[in-house]
Amino acid sequence: MTANQAQIDAGRPGPATDLLPVSNTRQLLDHGLPGLRKLALDIVASGIRAASPAAAVDRLVEVRGNVLHAGGHRFDLDAVRSVLVLGAGKASLSIVAALEAKLGDRIAGGLVACRRGAGGDLRHVEVVEADHPVPSRASLAAGRRLLEAAAAVGPGDLVITAFTGGSSALACVPADGLSFKAKQRLHGLLLASGAPIAEVNAVRKHISALKGGRLAARMRGATLLNLTVSDVPGGFADLLCDPVVQDTTDVPDAIAVLKRYDLWEDAGPEIRRHLDSPLARSPVLDGRVSIATVVLVSGAEVVAEMAARAHALGCEPVVLGSTFEGEAVHLGGLLGVLAQESSLRGRPFRPGAVLVAAGGESTVTLPRRDARTRLGGPNQELALGFARAIARERAAVAGVFVDSDGSDGGTEAAGGCADSLSAARATECGLDLHAAVMEHDSCTALRLLGDLVITGPTGTNVADLWAIAIGAAPPQAPEAGGS
pLDDT band of 4, cuts 50, 70, 90? very low
Give the pLDDT of residue 281: 97
pLDDT digits (tens, 9 = 90+) for 240-250: 899 999 999 99
- The larger pLDDT score, comparing residue 480 to residue 235, is at 235
Helix axes 328-345, 378-389, angle to 10 degrees: 40
Q: Provide the pairing of β-strand 397-403 with 415-419.
A: antiparallel
Least confident of 45-59, 315-329, 340-354: 315-329
State mean pLDDT over 449-469. Answer: 95
Share of the chain above pLDDT 70, in %: 92
| Integer Cα distance of 243 and 234 in angstroms | 18
pLDDT digits (tens, 9 = 90+) for 93-140: 999 999 999 999 999 999 999 999 887 889 999 999 999 989 999 999
Closest CA to 255 of 207, 316, 189: 207
Give the pLDDT of residue 11: 43
| Cα–Cα separations (whole angstroms), residue 93 to 52, 107, 169, 360 | 11, 15, 15, 22
| Integer Cα distance of 389 and 31 in angstroms | 19
pTM over 0.75: yes
- The Cα diameter of the chain in Å comes to 88
- The larger pLDDT score, comparing residue 195 to residue 17, is at 195
Give the pLDDT of residue 360: 65
Residue 467 has pLDDT above 50, yes or no: yes
State mean pLDDT over 466-482. Answer: 77
